Amino acid sequence: MSENIQQKIEELRAELHQHNYNYYILDEATISDFEFDLKLKELQELEKAYPEFYDPNSPTLRIGGEITKNFPTIQHQFRMYSLDNSYDFDDLEDWEKRIIKTIDEPVEFVAELKYDGASISILYENGKLKQAVTRGDGFQGDEITANVKTISDIPLTLKGNFPHQFFMRGEIYLTRKNFDKINLRREEEGLDLFMNPRNTASGSLKMQDSGEVSKRKLSAVLYQFISSEIPAETHWELLQNARKWGFNVSEQARLCKNLDEIKDFINYWDQHRHELPFEIDGIVLKVNSIQQQSKLGFTAKSPRWAMAYKFKAEKVETQLRSVTYQVGRTGAITPVANLKPVLLAGTIVKRASLHNEDIIKKLGLHEHDFVYVEKGGEIIPKIVGINLEKRNPENKEIQYITHCPECGTELVRTEDQAIHFCPNENGCKPQIIGRIQHFVSRKAMDIEGLGGGTIDLLFHNNIISNYADLYNLKKEEIIGLEKWLENDNSGIKFNNELQVVLSKAIFALSKSWGNLTVKEAEDLSNEIKCIDKIADIKVSSDNKKLVKFQKHILEAKKNVVYSDFNSIDNYVSLNYILQLKFPKYFCIKTDNLFDDKSSILNSLNYIDEILKINDFRNDKHFEAFIASISDRSRVGIKEKSAEIIIKSIEKSKEISFDKVLFAIGIKHVGETVAKKLAIHFQNINNLINASIPEIASVEDIGDKIAESIVDFFSKEKNQEILGRLQIAGLQFTLNSELEPVSNLLNNMTFLFTGSLTKFTRDKAQKLVEENGGRNLSAVSKNLNYLIAGENAGSKVKKAEDIGTVNIITEEEFLNLINL
């Protein structure tokens, strides 16, 4: 009986794998979606009833459901190099000349689209997907196998004659269609919209619930075979083989005989890239011959046999709506341009960073200017110019703020810096929350469950005011806490009046006055621009929804004078909308529930202020209405989340001293500096009592960092917080892992180059530190040993030119430390 069940399960798995291959790789569906779902459901039920026949690569895993709390760090067996970039054909011609000079024989190239997504490395063993790891820093990445298995483009089992073990490299991305679907769902749920497909795809890969990843409908393209043994003579042949094995390989890739064919390929896709269902930001070019690739080798960062041609950034014109200012955890002020939404390189752009006052002055920016916007590297929007012909001469020049937008403290700017700072570090909300976020982050104290929203929630409810307060939290104290999070995408406020997007306001009001769709609400808002013009539109009698909406809103307007409120095109005052919808609560002209209703209306900086009033809480429609008109979401802490937070806080007491030192947020003290300080001073008291010259004498520290450290420890508030952290039990003494295990390499410096086979680069550098040596980042006269791995490049030549550097093998390095 069990043999028959097992056979049935295996047959279903094989059939479903084949259907996936037919649909996603061959684009030739041989079964309807309904029939496929029936077979998948049948397999699910059999696997549930007979768990002894579990298969880690079953097609049912596409649905997800596995929860991953932590993503372990995995060393790449083969480094994931980055590519050199070129921006014009002169660069490509120089690249081709260097290649021909090195190998002195004819060269073919493979041209491929440069997908805009997240890089991935997938290990296959015996035709089965074994492990999937993000690019990370190229040397190591995060294992995300469960999430990658949900992506239908990626085969779980291979077909045909494939090697025993190899890696496939590729890109995970979101199609424009699926990205739009995700944002439509989020809009309907009252959540913030994602900014672009690339970041959304990357973020999706790190979600803890693979079931949620599955719902995102990610796509993948595989473009590089990696192994110690290559079963082909050319990259093009490897791509064709990969397609036969079941991989989704780009259909647009092209084999080019010369540079002219490459230019034709580039020119075509520069013109037609927006016709693709996904985003690209350039073209990748690779030498086709594997033997020639081997001869060309690698530089310290990139393969010499590959090049990325980046398309020039697109530029569009739009109008400046306002300039607002963000406060970082160090108090640094960043000005942001809020723009009239515009389509740029496939995504809607609403904001652009202005960086600092000098940039604003250099641009000569005026209020409501028409500006030219580019995406730096096709990702970050920036203002690159102003259309002076459209400038209204009455518009004033943008004047940089003099006081903090959050706490009102006068800003300071030192002569040697371009950035303004808010000095109120202990009373300015964004600085406080930013420091706590840094403290709990993965590379610092690694405390789970405390994202920005939850920290803001705890701060808002006066539960925490600094990171030492975390160690006093009790589970029963935080369960059930709630708050409306303000995510004011408009960035606009007038006289304490929150501004909401007009289309959202129309959509929310129509739920009781016509029930428009999101699209209909958007179309209407684009037509009327401001809600006061609702009477001006001509509505045909057959459009019953719009007729009903217009009738009711005109009736509601009898209670309210639009001109009394501050609104601009495509935005509308929250106060005005509330008076339209809830006149018995908010219309000052009528009898009301409050002694001073106008003071309540003028204080609506946060939704919470009106939600605290019982009369609103008793109205079951009120909170739902608030959610639908605003770019806000409600957060809360449930019992399970509270348990995770408290347990993780307790576990953080085991985090090593160097990470604690990094976590407390001393200006200019990053991970590397914190580790060097921990090794040198051994414990926090030694560091606190050290002078500026003593600290500056530590390798790679210097006066600037030393001054920052002494300044941090001199402040009474920081002393008090550190004292509480010590009482809580955090590690303020060096643990044995950081202490040198020998002094065999004392006073010696090392640098590793090329592909290492005996150990990873991180492991090699750790061995140097454990034995008292120092790692350098570049070849210089101060370098004692250069360890050259396979395909070592220019560093060896530079070391030979210096003449005093010892160039040794990995084996010789291990002999130095008696391994």
Model confidence pLDDT, tens digit, residues 721-750 = 999 999 999 999 987 555 566 778 888 889
Average pLDDT score over the chain: 83
> Exposed, middle or buried, 317 (CB in 10 Å: 0-12/13-18/19+)?
middle
Question: Which of the listed ranges 95-109, 407-421, 452-466 does the model predict with the highest average pLDDT?
Answer: 95-109
Rounded CA gap, 448 and 454, in Å?
11
Q: Which of 645, 715, 330 minimizes the C-alpha distance to 471?
A: 645
Q: Which amino acid is at 489?
A: N
Instruction: Output the pLDDT for position 605.
Output: 47
List where CATH 2.40.50.140 sits in the chain. 313-423
- Per CATH, the number for 655-736 is 1.10.150.20
Rounded to an integer, the average pLDDT of 164-182 is 91
Sequence-ordered alpha helix ranges (H) in 168-313: 176-188, 197-204, 210-215, 235-245, 259-272, 290-296
Taking 60 as the threshold, does the pLDDT of residue 114 lie above it? yes
749-816 belongs to which homologous superfamily? BRCT domain (3.40.50.10190)
Taking 80 as the threshold, does the pLDDT of residue 41 lie above it? no
Per the model's pLDDT, the better-predicted residue between 313 and 374 turns out to be 374
List where CATH 1.10.150.20 sits in the chain. 425-481+637-652, 655-736
Rounded CA gap, 658 and 71, in Å?
22
The answer to whether 306 and 286 are in contact (CB under 8 A) is yes
Rounded to an integer, the average pLDDT of 1-21 is 75
The region of weakest confidence among 126-130, 423-427, 537-541, 787-791 is 537-541
Instruction: Output the pLDDT for position 259.
Output: 92
DSSP state of 234: B
Taking 70 as the threshold, does the pLDDT of residue 96 lie above it? yes
Fold of the 73-310 domain = D-amino Acid Aminotransferase; Chain A, domain 1 (3.30.470)
Place of tokens 């350039």: 282
Query: Terminus-to-terminus CA distance in the chain, angstroms?
Result: 56
Rounded to an integer, the average pLDDT of 58-74 is 69
Rounded CA gap, 427 and 409, in Å?
9
Binding residues for NAD(+): 33-37, 82-83, 112, 135, 171, 286, 310
- 301 belongs to the catalytic site: no
Instruction: Output the pLDDT for position 592.
Output: 43
**Secondary structure class of 256 (helix, strand, coil):** strand
313-423 belongs to which homologous superfamily? Nucleic acid-binding proteins (2.40.50.140)
Taking every pair of Cα atoms in the chain, the longest distance, rounded to a whole number of angstroms, is 91
Taking 60 as the threshold, does the pLDDT of residue 64 lie above it? no
E-strand spans in 540-690? 571-573, 632-636
Instruction: Output the pLDDT for position 634.
Output: 58
List where CATH 1.10.287.610 sits in the chain. 2-63
- Per CATH, the number for 2-63 is 1.10.287.610
The DSSP line for 74-112 is: EE-SS------EE-SHHHHHHHHHHHHHHH-S---EEEE
Rounded CA gap, 671 and 397, in Å?
41
The region of weakest confidence among 342-346, 486-490, 622-626 is 486-490
Instruction: Give tens-digit pLDDT for 436-477.
Output: 999 998 889 999 888 777 888 898 888 999 999 999 999 998
Rounded CA gap, 816 and 664, in Å?
37
DSSP state of 168: E
Confidence of residue 594 (pLDDT cuts 50, 70, 90): very low
Confidence of residue 279 (pLDDT cuts 50, 70, 90): confident
Instruction: Give tens-digit pLDDT for 229-248.
Output: 899 999 999 999 999 999 99
The answer to whether 587 and 601 are in contact (CB under 8 A) is no
The region of weakest confidence among 58-67, 273-282, 471-480 is 58-67
Rounded to an integer, the average pLDDT of 710-726 is 94
Confidence of residue 34 (pLDDT cuts 50, 70, 90): low
Fold of the 425-481+637-652 domain = DNA polymerase; domain 1 (1.10.150)
CA torsion sign for 671, 676, 679, 682 is negative
Annotated catalytic residue, options 69, 114, 350, 474: 114
Residue 385, φ and ψ in degrees, nearest 5: 180, 175
Confidence of residue 1 (pLDDT cuts 50, 70, 90): low
Taking 80 as the threshold, does the pLDDT of residue 260 lie above it? yes
Taking 90 as the threshold, does the pLDDT of residue 647 lie above it? yes
Confidence of residue 366 (pLDDT cuts 50, 70, 90): very high
The answer to whether 261 and 200 are in contact (CB under 8 A) is no
Rounded CA gap, 130 and 664, in Å?
39
Per the model's pLDDT, the better-predicted residue between 581 and 290 turns out to be 290
Rounded CA gap, 230 and 225, in Å?
8
